[in-house]
Structure 1
Amino acid sequence: MNNFYNEILTEHNVRPEFKYDLECPTIQLEGVNPNCGDDIWLNLVMKDGVIQDASFNGDGCAISQASADIMIGMIIGKTKAEALHLSDLFLKMIKGTATDAEVEELEEASALQDISHMPARVKCAVLGWRTLREAIEKLDSEA
């Protein structure tokens, strides 16, 4: 893995900006990766269809923790549709089917692009993104 990208992942793992308890989230959803035991709780504060605030908590490998932290930094202030779009792009990138322009749109999350070459770590990288999608779908089904 490229050193620059490794530094981004290490920074987000060692000093995550969004790993804390969020008071009164609109939705809190647990995401678990049974393969390796990664376990996160995603907290979202939604207002008028926009993610006003978000955080996560939990335990897991450096990749799952860094990926969740990067994701949250990207989705705050976004609409549900914009957040789902980013999630779709992230999953395409991890599957190796994203275009260069799509990868570029992922900004810091593109640091995880090389994970596509490490099948055992893919579920770690997508845990936060998958939990985000499930949380939004759950909110939509309750609306």
Structure 2
Amino acid sequence: MRYRTLTGSMMGLALAGLMMTTPAQARDTTYYLPFKDVLSLPQAREKLDPSIRLYFGNQIHPEVEARHNGYYVDRKTSSVTKTDEEACRWVALSALIDLQERARFVGANAVTNISSYYNKQEYVDDNKYECHAGNVVAGVALKGKMVTLPVQ
């Protein structure tokens, strides 16, 4: 009888302990950061193709000669050894490189109307993009229209 009472008490304490613990909260901090900081990275000057022009938000661009459909990229990067802003710049650069690679693949020489598209929620800004930073990962999703513009 004493064994049952002790076991029941221990089970009750264990259950109470489980009920009092809360699951770890995953962090998801939203940032709206300037594209200019991404474009000024040394890696951007090395990896972005100047022959494929980038137009953000509703920036004015020359008249479109041909349309090659839109494209969407969703990139993530580790933020373990970086600040949130560093991770956001790095992953935004990766997304811009992907947009340019798609433009090249479809025969376009520009990407227009580049906007954030995180969780399929559009954020349009001529100067800023949306980035989400968590405990170990940062993510940027961009979409844009692949077009051919007159050669400058």
Q: Output the TM-score relative to the length of structure 1.
A: 0.24
Higher relative contact order (CA 8 A, sep 6+): 2
Q: Per residue, is there more strand in 1 or in 2? A: 2
Q: Per residue, is there more helix in 1 or in 2? A: 1
Q: Output the TM-score relative to the length of structure 2.
A: 0.23
Return the index of the structure with the highest Cα Rg: 2
